[in-house]
Amino acid sequence: MRILITGGAGFIGSHLVDALVDKHEVVVIDDLSTGFKENVNKNAKLFVTDIRNKEEIFKIFRDEQPEVVFHLAAQINVRRSVKDPAMDAEINILGSLNLLEASIKFGVKKFIFSSTGGAIYGDTEIIPTPETVEARPVSPYGCAKLSIEKYLHYYYVNHGLRYTSLRYANVYGPRQNPHGEAGVVAIFLDKMIKGENPVIFGDGKQTRDFVYVSDVVDANLLALKHLDIVDIFNIGTGIETDINTIFKILNSFFENKYKEIHAEAMPGEQRRSCLSYEKAERILGWKPRIDIETGLRKTHEYFKKKI
């Protein structure tokens, strides 16, 4: 199959490219704003292009004729989206619309979207949170992801473009960029390997649902396999882990030499986040396979070699 992956030079996208290149023709679109050329598998064809550039995007679709699109390219920084909602919308809404319009025009069979579970529900009492809880995002980033899910429905109903939207929890693993705002695991590991003590914001009892990158890739592969399934799925573990626990597990890889240091809490930070994956298991046959200790160990091994 001819497959187009946007954001294929990034953390999650590059792992997805690796999983698909052996069996498919893979084309990558990435502007390398947070991704890296060296992440892109040599058997994939890379176009260094911004998804906001409609003309270029249409040309690539016309020349490459992809049958399936995995859309991962995004402005992923929640705090940046708060500072500049219009910039976030330009990339995450208007850029995505360029891809959707091109998909219609050039006969794409299915559009698989990387959405967010962590930033789409807002604060909710129902934990683990199922998809039936109303999405009420509290950041422009979350609003943009939700609006693309609405557009996906529109394009499906009016143009027959099938889609799957995957709402990821907090993804971690090799190749995550430690210099971004996202990714506490990458940020802590980067510091610890360099001999610096990481800092925990607030009391560290805020929880997240940490899902390992290979499990997220598996969810994308299942969305591809089930071409006819048009739906929205949470992709998380259903397990809440607090930041202090992440720190403790990582610290154990360094003979517990670091101190648990806390700084002032980030204003407006969500207290709890955890997704139910019951629907993905029931319909896609997906479930997470890598537990947090194993995932953190694998991530540590990667960063140790890299830094």
Q: What are phi and psi of 274, to 5 degrees?
A: -165, 130
Is the preceding peptide bond at 288 cis, omega within 30 degrees of 0? no
What's the chain's length in residues?
307
Q: How near is the Cβ of 5 to ligand NAD at its closest, in Å?
A: 10
Cα dihedral: 264, 143, 186, 43 (round 10):
-170
The torsion angles phi and psi of 226, rounded to 5 degrees, stand at -90, 70
Q: Contact 235/215 with Cβ under 8 angstroms? A: yes
Q: Give the DSSP letter string of 58-87.
A: HHHHHHH--SEEEE------HHHHHH-HHH
Kind of pairing, strands 241-242 and 207-208?
A: antiparallel
Show the DSSP H helices in 4-115 as ranges: 11-20, 54-64, 78-83, 85-89, 96-105
| Closest CB 14 distance from ligand NAD, rounded Å | 8
* Residue in 229, 137, 213 with CA at minimum distance from that of residue 175: 213
Nearer to ligand NAD, 28 or 258 (CB): 28
In angstroms, what is the minimal distance from the CB of 255 to ligand NAD? 29
Q: What angle do CA 72, 60, 9 make, to 5 degrees?
A: 35
Applying CB under 6 A, the residues found at the interface with ligand NAD are: 7, 9-13, 29-35, 50-52, 72-76, 91, 95, 114, 116, 118, 168, 170-171, 177, 182
121 Rama class: left (phi>0) / alpha (psi -120 to 50) / beta: alpha
- 231 burial level (CB within 10 Å; 0-12, 13-18, 19+): middle
| Smallest distance from ligand NAD to CB 167, Å | 7
Q: How far is the CB of 46 from ligand NAD (least distance, A)?
A: 11
Give the Cβ contact number of residue 201 at 10 Å: 14
Query: CA 206, CA 215: separation in Å to the nearest integer?
Result: 23
Query: How far is Cα 253 from Cα 118, in angstroms, rounded to an integer?
Result: 27
Establish whether 141 is a catalytic residue: yes
What residues are labeled active site? 141
